[in-house]
Structure 1
Amino acid sequence: MFKSTDRKVFHDDKELAQVTKHSPVKYPYRLNFYDRPPLYDVTVEEFETCALDRLRILAEIESSAARNRSWEELKTVTNKQCTNHLPLQTTGTQELLESQRRKDHLGHFVLRLAFCRSEDLRRRFIKAESTLFRIRYDGDNTEERQLFLNSRDFNWIPVDAAEKSKYRRELLASYSGSKNESVREQAFDTERYYKVKWTRVPDLVEKRKVFLKAGWAYVPGKEQSSIVFQEFEVHLAKALELTARSLPRLDEDSRLVPILDNLSQGFLAGVPSEWSGSGEAINGDEIKAEMVDDLAKRHFPLCMRSMHDNLRRDHHLKHFGRLNYGLFLKVLGLSIEEAVVFWRKSFDRITDDKFNKEYKYNIRHSYGLEGKRANYAAKSCQQLLTSGPSDHGCPYRHFSLENLQTALLSTYSSRGLTSADLPEIVATVKAGHYHVACTRVFEMTHSSFGVKKGEGTGGGESITHPNQYAAKSMELYKVQQDSAEKMLVE
């Protein structure tokens, strides 16, 4: 399915396969039902990048649902994510608009491949994609939105004036609007109606917003979007089932399967960027080995704090615990020289000779100074969630609920977390939204810094990386300290 140049061509059916694969794809509208797959060549890198950027948005949408955000809050957070990762402008050069819509188109189809594998993944993907479509629909230019609707056959039947007059009393009874009767009737008189089978608008039937007659639902124009949203969901559900049946053909491609496996984990803990922040950049001073104890108490997420406490208790960590915690400290700003000092003092029950022979090489290796000299990144929440036992994974997933609550109180009670906060965290963990639980803990333990519920690390963004948690905590602390020093000077 890939050519020797590592380019991929998607073919759906025989008719589409006849389209010249190098011909440009036109996207006249921001809104898209994704009827046709991309028929052009893409590199493996573009294949993955487009999907990841889209997945960041969908993962944040699911996190928002788990956090019970209001519709307006959800739109704000999602629009911010779209601006950062998947902008779809309404104005600009034709080349810019085509490029943005091409990326949107490609990312959607790649994620179809990743999320068509099980009923649960398909359900979550449909819900997130439908929410994204609805947000775009609500924010779209009125004229362009109407052009998009006119370009598709939604199989609705316009209700003429005679039929509207015939059922005026019934239609008016279900018409929502102003409490002022004369104002409501005036708005009703100018409203257009459409007939569809009642099964296509179950949400409107449930809320009694439509008049039902002989199996038909009379939908007012202002509720027309309900038909569009339902059509989008039904269309996507059928497409995912079709994709699932075709997916086994990809098993032979060793380059695609690992990418799709990784993408399918995206709802588990969001999609982090490769974290590049450092403690030095935040604090202005290099992090020293003797500072780690204090930093752990003030700023570390539960996963890294647990590793640190285990290290202090046992004077040792198992291999993967050392690897994960060491990379975390490296990205936090601990230099290789200070890292060697930190680990040597931590392993104070072994001889220098044993430390140098069995541990020092691995420390230098993680900093890219030995072996293949790679610059290893710190593990993200997603990687910790999918890793093994609790001594180096995510406590929210691997700890029992009883142990988790005990760990939270013993770790964060001095930061304002109380037993009254635990039921909300436990409920989120039971629902499988582990990174959302971690985000709530961050908000609760940083309320004294002005962090409010729903804000996350800023702008509503959830925690998706341990270093993101620590860096934001250190940043807030520095701002507070600078403010206090400024007040003393004044």
Structure 2
Amino acid sequence: MNVTPTRVVRRLGLKRDHKIEIDPLLLDQEAQNLSIYDKPPTEVISLQEFEEFGRIRLKALRKLENLREKYNRGSNEFTEAFRKEVGSILPLFARKHTAENAARERRIDRISHFVLRMAFCSSAEQSRWFLQQEVDLFRLRFALETPESAMQFLRVNEFDLEAISPGEKRELASKLAAASNITEDKIEKTNFWRVKFVRALEAVRSRRVLVQGGYAYVTFNELANVVAMRLRMQISKAMAKEAMALGMLDEGERLIPLLRLMTKESTIAHSGPKNANEITPDQVDELAKTSFPPCMRQIHLRLRADHHLRHFARRQYGLFLKTAGMSLESSLAFFRHEFTKKIEPDKFNKEYAYNVRHMYGKEGGRREGQGMDCRQIVLGNAPAAQDCHGCPFKHCEPEHLAQKLEAMGLNKDDTKKAVTLAKMSQYDKACAKFFEAQHKMPEGALGQAITHPNKYFELSRQIIEGKRSRTGIETKVVELETKNGVKSEEHDDFGEEMEF
């Protein structure tokens, strides 16, 4: 490969002046489809390859993340979609490469991993995202490898595994069957390996393996988790060191801008709008200040403060965002970004992602949910002490309500009028009063009560975008059109005010 000396990246180990000798074992590792990426490449590559390989892998990781959100992990649909969509980007990942291009695909795999490791090591949040994608990717790739290839990989990388003998297997048959959820008649045909239990903590925690004498007895399916645990620790430690080394690297005009551009484009590509009316995660803070009704604004503020929402708040807020125009992908990205400031991404995927997908009709009965109207919110489950859902005009004591409204920008006079209406159970008129004050409209200019949080949002956007006048909005009922074509209108029995 001929390259101009002044336009190359010397090595991905970050140190320019330190030569790394080729370890004979590394040659064997490079002959494997899988890698634990413990040794950075030492060859000379061009900046063009550096950038190209990094972008290819980044595209594959984003595609994998999207597939996890669309399909149940471990399902046949998920595996087939992975093979088709991710395999089209990097054939090695889905074992769709040929013998002739195997060496090239393995080279791209190793170089691209280290490129992105450098790109995503600068912040804890970026590191967590990259680490989770790489571990999930490895599990999938390991499962797609043939048993012979997988065992060769384990031997080359010196994993401390010991296959148990047929005699020992017969002695432990009943215990192995009970722990692994395998019938005893199938134990004879199932291979088991003995590993130190600290290297199989995920399986031990889930009680999927037999633990005896300090060892865990794992099947082939569990070996992926054993290797993934070592991979996670390896990458995590390496990225911490690389974050420090990157600051001392004299590449401020060449390499560093490339790395930063990759992470920036990753964020934009993940959260960018697919159409002009879509709400993206990066827009929510500003929209909450200018156009969210008090009920949704209080939930948003609690989410940003606590990085968590309880069930009823998640549902009330999630359906509001969906009806306002947030896509499933953006909604998952938005809630994952906040929740994973306190919990691990795996925990979010297992305990919360399902609920988000359910609201969009991708789980359960597959019926799409719509934003709750004010009647549903007011008459629904009342918030407990630790909750933030519900309607502030209904569920807050007058003194607390006044404090909230003033904190949201209302002056004392407007706050007093809104609180008075709330005391009279005219919650829709109190919300309309807040709307007028927030948008600096004359009193009574709105000309209608607020009966739906998404109606509030739509009217607000129309005023801010100049599509409606601040001095007097038509009094006719405004229909809310969701992206699914479902309309929500004011109920005829509301009349001048909403009766509760």
TM range (shorter): 0.5 to 0.7
* Aligned residue number for residue 33 of structure 1: 36
Aligned to 2:382: none
Residues matched between the structures, number: 315
TM-score (norm 1): 0.54
Is 2:242 the counterpart of 1:236?
A: no
Equivalences for 1:343-422 in 2 at 5 Å?
395-396=283-284, 398-400=286-288, 403=291, 421-422=322-323
Matched, 1:257 2:260: no
Confirm whether residue 87 of structure 1 aligns to residue 91 of structure 2: yes
Indicate if the aligned counterparts of 2:10 and 2:45 stay in contact, CA closer than 8 A: yes
Mapped partners of 2:252, 2:37: distance in 1: 24
Residues 259, 218 of structure 1: CA spacing in aligned structure 2 closer, same or farther, 3 A cutoff?
Answer: same
SS in 2 for 1:265: helix
> Residues 18 and 223 (structure 1 numbering): CA distance in 2 closer, same or farther, change over 3 Å?
closer
Provide the rounded CA distance (Å) in 1 between the counterparts of 2:37 and 2:209: 29
What displacement does 1:271 show? 6.5
TM-score by length of 2: 0.53
CA pair 207-93 structure 1, distance change in 2 beyond 3 A: closer
Cα separation, 1, equivalents of 2:211 and 2:319: 52
Q: What is the match of residue 110 of structure 2? A: 105
Relative to structure 1, is the Cα distance of residues 61 and 168 closer, same or farther in structure 2, using a 3 angstrom cutoff?
same
Secondary structure of the residue aligned to 2:152 is: helix
Deviation at 1:272, TM superposition (A): 10
Q: Determine the structure 2 residue equivalent to 1:270.
A: 269
Equivalent residues of 2:28, 2:156 under 8 A apart: no
Q: Distance in 2 between matches of 1:3 and 1:247?
A: 24
Cα shift readout 1:399-445 (whole Å, capped 9, x = no counterpart):
22773689xxxxxxxxxx98594498695434449xxx9xx99x979
1:397 Cα deviation from its structure 2 partner: 5.9
Bigger shift: 254-263 or 244-253?
244-253
Instruction: Provide the rounded CA distance (Å) in 2 between the counterparts of 1:69 and 1:186.
Output: 30
Counterpart residue type for residue 87 of structure 1: P
Read off the aligned partner of 1:259 and give its amino acid letter.
L
Candidates 32, 43, 48, aligned match of 1:45: 48
CA contact (8 A) 1:396 1:404 kept: no
Say whether the 8 Å CA contact 1:30–1:90 is kept in structure 2: no
Contact 1:174/1:211 (<8 A) preserved: yes
Q: Distance in 2 between matches of 1:15 and 1:421?
A: 53
Q: Given the superposition, is the C-alpha separation of residues 249 and 208 from structure 1 closer, same or farther in structure 2, using an over 3 Å criterion? A: same
- 1:301 match: 276
Distance 2:246 2:262 in 1: 15
Change (3 A) 1:185 1:247: same
1:283 aligned partner:
none
Aligned residue number for residue 142 of structure 2: 137
Residue 432 to residue 229, structure 1, CA distance change in 2 (3 Å): closer
- Between the aligned partners of 1:271 and 1:5, the Cα distance in structure 2 is 34
- Matched residues in 2 for 1:432 and 1:43: separation? 34
**C-alpha displacement of 1:67:** 5.6
What's the CA shift for 1:77? 4.0
RMSD: 4.5
Q: Deviations over 1:178-222 (max 9, x none)?
A: xxxxxx222102333222222221221122221222322122344
Closer, same or farther: CA 18–169 of 1 in aligned 2, 3 Å: closer
How much has 1:15 moved relative to structure 2? Answer: 9.1
SS in 1 for 2:235: helix
Alignment of 1:7 with 2:11, yes or no, is no
- Long gaps (5+) in structure 1: 178-183, 274-298, 307-380, 386-393, 407-416, 446-451, 454-490
Distance 1:79 1:119 in 2: 30
Higher helix share: 1
- DSSP 3-state at the match of 1:217: strand
- Displacement of 1:25: 10
Once the two structures are superposed, residues 263-295 of structure 1 have per-residue CA deviations (whole angstroms, 9 ceiling, x without a partner) of: 22355243799xxxxxxxxxxxxxxxxxxxxxx
Q: Percent identity?
A: 23
Cα distance in 2, alignment partners of residues 420 and 123 from structure 1:
26
Residue 262 of structure 1 deviates from its aligned partner by: 1.7
**SS of residue in 2 equivalent to 1:212:** strand
Q: How does 1:37-76 map to 2 (within 5 A)?
A: 37-65=40-68, 69-72=72-75, 73-76=77-80
